A and B are shown apart, each in its own frame.
Chain A
Amino acid sequence: TQLLEQSPQFLSIQEGENLTVYCNSSSVFSSLQWYRQEPGEGPVLLVTVVTGGEVKKLKRLTFQFGDARKDSSLHITAAQPGDTGLYLCAGAGNAGGTSYGKLTFGQGTILTVHP
């Protein structure tokens, strides 16, 4: 069974601060996704990283996939109250493996950005 450990579970910061969320596993994933979820809604995809060492930027959000494709991080620069929400990482199983076609989710990080 593939596991993804996400940390921290809770993050409460002031507007303008930077933060990083981590996602770690002992398993290799074919790709890793980051989702954001707001209350009363389902998760919505932010980004998919596929190649080991890949870095993607989405405005103030920077996503990185580890060289060995076992870990990932999400860095937010100058956080704003609108960034508040639940952030989830999810790893996609490799073709031919028992996890193929499925996503393994981390526990989630609840981010609160205070004005």
Chain B
Amino acid sequence: DADVTQTPRNRITKTGKRIMLECSQTKGHDRMYWYRQDPGLGLRLIYYSFDVKDINKGEISDGYSVSRQAQAKFSLSLESAIPNQTALYFCATRPTGWNEQFFGPGTRLTVL
């Protein structure tokens, strides 16, 4: 079984709709991250969380919100989706004291 799972894997939605992307992990890591990936731009950090009570904005948090429901769950929401939020979204986890991040398989989101 995968250590970091993301649901859904693919989603097509319309402008203005609310969307939630979910991430779950069985690795027992405290730290979780949400990134978006666009061609030619690498991975850009949206939000990150060092534990359930610690949520931080990344470099591109506008238009997004997150919820850390438990150590193992970290959700990303788009309150009112817009076309330029069309991208590949990745969740990642990291153990405290290590720099390596472990990524989920990604969610491909298309906003029409």
By a beta-carbon cutoff of 8 Å, the part of chain A in contact with chain B is: 1, 4, 6, 9, 30-31, 33, 40-45, 48, 88, 90, 92, 101-103, 105-108
Contact = CB atoms under 8 A, between A and B. Distances in A.
A101 B50 contact: yes
A88 B43 CA distance: 9
B99 A42 contact: no
Interface residues of B, number: 25
Contacts, number: 55
B59 interface: yes
Contacts of A101: 31, 48, 50, 94
B42 A107 contact: yes
Contacts of A31: 99
Interface of B: 4, 31, 33, 35, 40-45, 48, 50, 58-59, 90, 92, 94, 99-106
A4 B42 CA distance: 10
**Chain B binding surface, main DSSP class:** strand
B104 A42 contact: yes
A44 B103 contact: yes
A45 to B, nearest CB: 5
A85 B12 CA distance: 26
B42 A106 contact: yes
Contacts of A42: 4, 90, 92, 103-106
Given A45-B101, A88-B43, 6 more contacts: A31-B99, A45-B102, A48-B100, A90-B43, A103-B45, A107-B41
